[in-house]
Structure 1
């Protein structure tokens, strides 16, 4: 089972030829509201990729909250641990350029109400264990759009593989890193965390913090390392990007599904890279994520 402890936001997405400069007004060509938030994105990506997924977090008592819950349910995510709190849900204002690049402003809303008490439910009704081969069979997916004390508490409460996407980039407490099994930043986040702009050098520095790390490189694929000396690189897949929103969350969800199924790191990288490549060819966050059948067909 994969437990996602994270944010749920309603994405308010404007599509433009180019993003406005400060003080500038530009005309958009389309507007959409789409279920998002890094936590919800990773939960939906994991479920569509074939995972057994539950979500722990909070939405508001507004219409967006009901829509977010419905989108998660529709994707096959167990939302029994998703609380509804009085007030607005989290939202993200996203501007997507025609080339696929985006800029995002997040307003936490209900996500800011997620507490350490919520974090203690990450292991409830979710048995952890290891396969006969010693591979972790359960995982917790974390991001940093929730209050840090709650994230730390969740990581420490979980006994399976803890996967952290360190976004948005903030200082990472030692007590959090001590509980993380795999760190999964993109190249910009890896550089911000380590102070090293070269992804390969940043990867080595990350392995001083956690046992395993993956650095995603956008169109150039991803690199992987572990403290046992393994170093892997998977190239990107040549596609025409329409919208890169949530490509990293798609990668994280698919990679975690593959690992919980006992696949090797190489196989997991190929599976996740294929999923991310499919997602950037479609608009939106959760609406762009591929199914298991689509990913399998792409990998073959």
Structure 2
């Protein structure tokens, strides 16, 4: 088992989250009053990079923001969390990506993403080291994700969200795919993928190897405040735990504990403890990072 957490490079989206919190999510054509509005840093890529850094990993962000007030705020937020932002492009003429989110009293949400600058960057010319774990999602263009996968010389992880058809060339390069149960059903090719982690909300999580369920872990009972960043925190924690040498079941249990803390926090980029604290919480000896 490694004595230090791995370096993680996240290639993905950076958004400003505009969040309306209401008692319930409106039906089509309906107006619901009494909401509370907040602006928060978000985007699946940024959320995962921040989670990795707060958990104690060395995190680098590759992405893009607009040359606007929102973009500079997102860069400052990433840096404040300990993320290396030297790979984030500031694109003149493009607006920073924005997510419009409605969250109800149970933490369920509806999200519309306006990609903005997330659609305008490239990984051409970037190199990734053999010890570098690369983590992507699908809120940026599929060609960017595929190019990152092909350029990655080490462990490559895809959080296949939002769900879409994936080219065989990309799936073959993935050392790990992370999805929720809905995404797993919407991407049939994952049934034959090398290694897939699936989250089931209150029913925990599991890992499938070539379609065979080889590990699982229960979820912790928590009061839900916001589910927006929970999957991203789970993903970062799982990657760090697996790359630190923990077995599948332990890595899932640790990631579930991190996800439980995340859903209890109203932020898209929740406050988290160091990974070793979650390892200790699930009762595993030989804590990584010590």
Corresponding position: 1:234 with 2:241: no
SS at match of 2:32: coil
Counterpart of 1:48 in structure 2 is 54
Give, in angstroms, the shift of residue 263 of structure 1. 1.6
2:116 pairs with one of 99, 105, 109: 109
Q: C-alpha distance in 2, partners of 1:249/1:273?
A: 11
Counterpart of 2:101 in structure 1 is 94
Give, in angstroms, the shift of residue 122 of structure 1. 4.9
Corresponding position: 1:82 with 2:88: yes
Give, in angstroms, the shift of residue 299 of structure 1. 2.8
Counterpart of 1:290 in structure 2 is 272
Structure 2 alignment gaps of length 5 or more: 1-6, 284-290
- Equivalenced residues, count: 275
- TM-score, normalised with respect to structure 2: 0.90
Are the aligned partners of 2:191 and 2:211 in contact in 1 as well (CA < 8 Å)? no
> 1:262-286, CA deviations, whole angstroms, 9 ceiling, x for partnerless residues?
2221221111000000110110211
Q: C-alpha distance in 1, partners of 2:8/2:252?
A: 18
Q: C-alpha distance in 2, partners of 1:110/1:296?
A: 37
- TM-score, normalised with respect to structure 1: 0.87
Give, in angstroms, the shift of residue 114 of structure 1. 1.6
Are the aligned partners of 1:255 and 1:269 in contact in 2 as well (CA < 8 Å)? yes
Counterpart of 2:288 in structure 1 is none
Q: C-alpha distance in 2, partners of 1:250/1:281?
A: 12
> 1:143-194, CA deviations, whole angstroms, 9 ceiling, x for partnerless residues?
0011111110000100111111111111101111121111111000001112
> 1:225-263, CA deviations, whole angstroms, 9 ceiling, x for partnerless residues?
224966111011011111111111110001111122122
Give, in angstroms, the shift of residue 102 of structure 1. 0.5
Counterpart of 2:228 in structure 1 is 245
Give, in angstroms, the shift of residue 298 of structure 1. 3.6
Structure 1 alignment gaps of length 5 or more: 130-137, 195-204
